[in-house]
Structure 1
């Protein structure tokens, strides 16, 4: 007896494949559904922030053990405890930046800009301290503060505010450049007087990002690039150790035990790590083989102890930050939030790219730290504030605002006591004022003068002096009733 399935032709029978049907499709559908949730961007920002914070603390603890042993304090944990204090302060400011309404932050941005410029001026006075050949620090006992980090954030917030306010006239160069570019150039000059090459480069990144997202023409970026290269070259030649860095980058094998020692040791550390690394805490680079390993070259220690997989984790986290930051910028409808989110994202990702670039030998050493991972007090605190602002911008997406105001703040919102964000209200458009009617005497004299100049009652522009077109007035006169003398009323 032949069953119905056996009676089917061979072409009509379903083909069996070796892969489990629907697994990839189901995962893709689930991921798409999760990314479509109202607070997906907010949760992604928190995830990247938490992972970078934990990874940074672990690597600072591993990288600074040898340096801490020779530093008076808490033995092997001196630098780590100091970094932990800065991270604790940054966590509090992260919560403040996440909780304060963005409208209030925007209103305070001009004050922050003026205050940051005053700090840059004050650090050049005897109030500032000179460390590593640069006068760019305020030192109060065991606490140090670098004002240029705050200036980056102030420039991003205030520059976005000015460019959004002048959005309607940005097609004119004077409105596009003034006052953002002059204020930024003043900052550049004050930072170059310190001199601080890393601060100048990152400030330039913030300015270029602001102008890019404001829609500036490409020719402006060419002029900014020439000016930036001239400034970097001036700073590089102005000090001996920066000139040595440039020379060692151009020819690293010329002096491997002198000028190119740091760059060569960083590449050796990355090579020795292999795929899985030597193990956490087992990297020999921190035993004075690689100077400043807990600050500028901590990515080399990650490759030494965690291998290629650890480096891939760091690169993946910053790539996710770039995607999530641009997602937050594109999903918002407030133009100021869009520009701020995009500028802050470019700032952090570009800073990480420069640090990783000179560790692997693609760029000359500039002293720019790896955000959230390198040891550094002011940098860690300001970076955590930036993450708080990004998370706050993610909560202001239209779908997120609707969900938070209708369904409540959620578990994390209740724990952090976050208020519901206000929906975006576009600014009211000004109504054009009605033109006042001219006096009767002026109108009559103008009409008489135009009729004397042109026999058909037209002026040079084809309009009657009273304001109505001549053709329309003729059409109106045709429909008027005639008087007894053949005229028109």
Structure 2
């Protein structure tokens, strides 16, 4: 019997209705993007690695090592109790800021490509600016979740000064692309944290002005901006990389030339394994391969929003929404400058581009998002009922506890002398007027999406293994 027209959609909708569907989606998306990245890094870097006198697999082996490290970080994030994550959020952020200061000191930080932004530990290079993205997301979400209903000053301080300090340290490396990513993280925290729209727009416009000034201040950055607005000028200089990326995409057509059959990777497209790996995907896998990457990103956006809306913990709501915005925006910026819609910034394609620190840190962030998916109320109920599935049993993940909002202490009332027998209230007595709220408090209270929608029994989270 032939299936009905809407049979596949109904089956997929029924699967999405399962309690742990969000968790399985995050794990699947992270796995597919990481595997795709490893395959494309091997294909795109083999020629340059061999031409440099080494093995054709040298960059791939390094990327695979960091992928294994990222898988361990993903698993640690799944087992990490939210209570511990929040307690260590500020110390981790402070350590990452100290690392940003140390990397600027000659003799400690390593210089590659004219920028001092790495710690070289043997054959491994670690970029602290990648670590600070995650620590800023976690600490900022913890800070704003702890100050729900606070005044506007309590929302901005100390989050905005700390975010600006981090951006300044990254600019000094120099690294404008990571500064843009940190600015996206900061703006997402303020937006989802309930900042008033007018003030948010003012801060965003100020950030765009500062980013434009920085983009035009340095020689190589201003060359990229001028090349974007004048695509026909200097085809063998500033516009060479962008033009070659477009040729590579056009050469792929609909179905692509085949895996490993790229022409641009033969020293025609610089950084083909890193910043411009999406062009190699388009050349070897064609338009369909590019659409598959975009479909995975779209599914990630859907899953991140789904987790944020279903979570009752304000910390998880802020964390998931901000992380989803950051990863998606970084991916869209990378794809945007590869296809010629944006100036070249150097932001990597998350989980796909070559870069060990970025891969491991992003996988750790995906692990935190997957942990948030397991803390959805329906998922917690299913896990407590023993419906944990094969993956959870295989990984021996602890059963998360139900979130309960902290009891709010009532405001102290002023002492007033009252008679022993209070008089009856008159029906026409005027009601006491409430004090006007500040703009920040009113905005936060109007954001009902960050507040629990139903009462839940008190239960404190512990990291228990099943």
| TM category, shorter | 0.7 to 0.9
Q: List aligned pairs for 1:217-296, cutoff 5 A.
A: 217-296=196-275
CA shift, 1:71, in A, is 3.5
Task: Give 1:18-33 correspondences, 5 Å limit.
Answer: 23-33=4-14
Which residue of structure 2 aligns with residue 17 of structure 1?
none
Shift of 1:436: 4.5
Aligned match for 1:110, one of 90, 94, 98: 90
Q: Is the contact between residue 187 and residue 204 of structure 2 (CA under 8 Å) also seen in structure 1?
A: no
Q: Is the 8 A contact 1:195 1:235 kept in 2?
A: no
Secondary structure of 1:194's aligned partner: coil
Cα-to-partner distance string for 1:346-403 (whole Å, 9 max, x where unaligned): 1111000000000000000000000000000100001100110111010000010011
Q: Which moved more, 1:417-426 or 1:212-221?
A: 212-221
TM-score when scaled to structure 1? 0.84
Matches within 5 A, 1:47-446: 47-73=28-54, 75-126=55-106, 127-169=108-150, 172-433=151-412, 435-436=414-415
C-alpha spacing 1:469/1:134, structure 2 compared with 1 (3 Å): farther
In our comparison, the structure showing a higher alpha carbon Rg is 1
Distance 1:315 1:471 in 2: 65
Q: Give yes or no for contact 1:63–1:301 (8 Å, CA) kept in 2.
A: yes
Q: Give the CA deviation at 1:32.
A: 1.8
TM-fit CA distance, 1:179:
1.1
Aligned-residue CA RMSD (Å): 2.1
Q: 1:285 is paired with a residue of what secondary structure?
A: coil
**How many angstroms does 1:243 deviate by?**
1.4
Q: CA offset at residue 431 of structure 1? A: 3.6
**How much has 1:471 moved relative to structure 2?**
8.5
- Which residue of structure 1 lines up, in the alignment, with residue 434 of structure 2? none
Structure 2: gaps of 5 or more residues: 430-466
- Specify the SS of the correspondent of 1:327: helix
Mark the runs of 5 or more structure 1 residues left unpaired by the alignment. 1-19, 444-463, 476-489
Q: TM-score scaled by structure 2?
A: 0.88
Tell me if structure 2 keeps the 8 A contact 1:409–1:419.
no
Is the CA contact (8 Å cut-off) linking 1:332 and 1:396 kept in structure 2?
yes
Residue 27 of structure 1 and its aligned partner are, at CA, apart by 2.6
Which digits, 9 at most, give the CA deviation of each residue in 1:127-182, with x for residues without a partner? 1112222211111221111111111111111111111111111xx32122111111
Question: Aligned-pair distance for 1:470?
Answer: 11
Q: Distance in 2 between matches of 1:281 and 1:381?
A: 25
Structure of greater relative contact order (alpha carbons < 8 Å, 6+ residues apart):
2
Contact in 2 for aligned 1:72/1:78 (Cα 8 Å): no
Does the CA-based 8 Å contact 1:116-1:150 persist in structure 2? yes
d(CA) in 1 for partners of 2:383, 2:394: 14
Cα distance 1:162–1:64, how it changes in 2: closer, same or farther (>3 A)? same
Pick which of 337-346 and 128-137 moved more.
Answer: 128-137
Match of 1:44 among 25, 43, 46: 25
Deviations 1:380-436 (A, max 9, x none): 001100110111010000010011111153311121110111111111121444654
Aligned residues: 426
Quote the Cα distance in structure 1 between the aligned partners of 2:424 and 2:319: 53
The superposition leaves residues 254-308 of structure 1 with CA deviations (integer Å, 9 ceiling, x where unpaired) of 1111110000110111111100011111110101110000000000001111100
